[in-house]
Amino acid sequence: DAGITQSPRHKVTETGTPVTLRCHQTENHRYMYWYRQDPGHGLRLIHYSYGVKDTDKGEVSDGYSVSRSKTEDFLLTLESATSSQTSVYFCAISESPGHALYGYTFGSGTRLTVV
Partner 1 sequence: GESVGLHLPTLSVQEGDNSIINCAYSNSASDYFIWYKQESGKGPQFIIDIRSNMDKRQGQRVTVLLNKTVKHLSLQIAATQPGDSAVYFCAENRRAGSYQLTFGKGTKLSVIP
Compute the least distance from the CB of residue 84 to partner 1, in Å.
Answer: 17
Does 74 contact partner 1 by CB under 8 A? no
Q: Which sign, positive or negative, has the C-alpha torsion 96, 98, 99, 104? A: positive
Considering the complex, state which of residue 33 and residue 81 has its C-beta at the smaller distance from partner 1: 33
Compute the least distance from the CB of residue 12 to partner 1, in Å.
Answer: 14
Alpha helices in the chain (DSSP H): none
Does 42 contact partner 1 by CB under 8 A? yes
Considering the complex, state which of residue 10 and residue 70 has its C-beta at the smaller distance from partner 1: 10
Compute the least distance from the CB of residue 105 to partner 1, in Å.
Answer: 7
Q: Tell me the C-alpha to C-alpha distance, in Å, between residue 89 and each of 10, 20, 64, 82, 96.
A: 10, 11, 12, 15, 23
Q: Are strands 73-78 and 110-114 parallel, antiparallel or unpaired?
A: unpaired
